[in-house]
Structure 1
Amino acid sequence: MARRKLILATGNLDKVVEMKEILKDLPVDIFSKKDLELEEFEVVEDGKTLEENAMKKAMALKEKVEGIIIADDTGLFVKALNGAPGVYSARYGGIEHDYIKNNNKLLEELKNVPIDKREAYFKTVIVVILEDGSSFVVEGVCEGAIGFELKGDNGFGYDPLFIPKGYDKSFGELGLDIKNKISHRAKALEKLKEQLYKILKDDAHEDICSK
């Protein structure tokens, strides 16, 4: 199976590490925006849904480079806050995408909320645009709760606050090995791998048959 070029439409290097690790078994060469010297290329994420934002990023990057484009958007949805921060998760504490400010604002908003009312879930939506312009969408959800304080030095974003269902430790404490098996992004990427592997395999079969 011939290797293909896959470009991740994110400037978040923490996400890049996660995604490269989970997708490493695919017959593709994976590049980030930084690898292609496109760090300055940004898209305004003003969509009303995660899918709108992901599609907007994917389509914009498709105009710049050739290959398979993968763009994602992730949100943290807290029940007690009527779904906030949601699509604004990355800039909840300000436009500078500061992890500490985001976490501190979330803790402040939930200051008087008891543990049984701190339910939340992470959702990741991934848009894939193939070389011919066709596309598909996958998503993953991880349910859990918001802790009362930051715990753990692993991960990024809200990981030190988010306690996945079935665990008593935050993503920040559990580490990347466990997170990459149970997280929202891991679930979405596993679906992506399954679909993309089938596409790559079918394409390779067609190439052989056409020779």
Structure 2
Amino acid sequence: MSDHRKFDGGKLVVASHNPGKVREIGELLAAFNVEPVSAGELGLPEPVEDGDTFIANAEIKALAAAKSANMVALSDDSGFALDALNGAPGIYSARWAGPTKDFSLAMQKVEDELQMSGAVTPDKRTAHFICALTLAWPDGHMESFEGRVAGTAVWPPRGDKGFGYDPVFMPDGYDVTFAEMEPEAKHAMSHRADAFRQLIDACFNRQ
């Protein structure tokens, strides 16, 4: 659609201090005229994420980075949502990993909560990964998109690829977790890939 603002290439601030996320976003944008630089590399402060949705938090991060760096910025707010836990951890997915971002603790907490809720069979362990992406310009213009992928929470964690909750998420139609998949396979069908397809169709010119 022509009413979306286009990104015209060059440097793009990835508004994240998570190296795994920055790497994955760089891989997803490899086919475009983009030079990703992370907020961490630029020494940008991390804004308070006090939105109540993934998109609200993505917009807070992207706008803060765009204004601080005076460059176009892309942010991702993503999380793991368990149906048996009414969507938790959801927007608090990173916080469940604690101040040290220890996702082995976060995955154990998810499993403990599932066990307490009685979600012990696969049909009660349905889950989603959700990803909101926001592209923000220093003048305050923003474009936001949300993607998702459905699957099942598994235990114990499996695989050493990916990051975050990937070792305990098995997408529908597969018998491997995100952390057991090669990055190319995950990028083809993940929540982030879904959101990126929408973003790229709207805001990027294919080379």
**TM-score normalized with structure 1 length:** 0.87
Q: Secondary structure at the match of 1:47?
A: coil
CA RMSD of aligned residues (A): 1.9
For residue 203 of structure 2, the aligned residue among 177, 193, 196 is 196
Alignment-mate amino acid for residue 63 of structure 1? K
> Post-superposition shift, 1:36?
2.3
7, 20, 28: which one aligns with 2:26: 20
1:72-96 per-position Cα deviation (integer Å, ceiling 9, x unaligned): 1002111111111111111124343
Name which of 11, 15, 35 aligns with 1:9. 15
Q: Which has the larger radius of gyration?
A: 1
Residues 15-58 of structure 1, C-alpha deviation per residue, up to 9 Å, x if partnerless?
011000010111222211233243xx111222111111111111
Match runs of 1:1-211 below 5 Å: 3-38=9-44, 41-111=45-115, 112-113=118-119, 114-198=121-205
Deviation at 1:170, TM superposition (A): 0.5
Aligned to 2:3: none
Deviation for aligned residue 1:2: 6.7
> Quick check: 1:26–1:193 contact (8 Å CA) kept in 2?
no
Contact 1:4 1:67 in 2 (8 A): no
Unaligned runs of 5+ in 2: 1-6
Structure 2: how far apart are the matches of 1:163 and 1:4?
A: 36
1:167–1:74: structure 2 CA closer, same or farther, 3 Å change rule?
Answer: same
Cα distance in 2 between the residues matched to 1:195 and 1:164: 26
1:206 aligns with none
The answer to whether the 8 A contact 1:91-1:98 is kept is no
Contact 2:72–2:135 (8 Å) recurs in 1: yes
What fraction of aligned residue pairs are identical, expressed as a percent? 38
Q: Deviations over 1:129-179 (max 9, x none)?
A: 135432211111000010021000111111000000110111011121111
Equivalenced residues, count: 198
TM-score by length of structure 2 reads: 0.89
Higher relative contact order at CA 8 Å, sep ≥6: structure 1 or structure 2? Answer: 2
Contact 1:68 1:131 in 2 (8 A): yes
Which structure 1 residue ranges, 4+ long, deviate > 6 Å from structure 2?
A: none
Specify every segment of 5 or more residues in structure 1 that has no aligned partner in the other structure, as ranges: 202-211
The 2-side partners of 1:145 and 1:151 are apart by 13
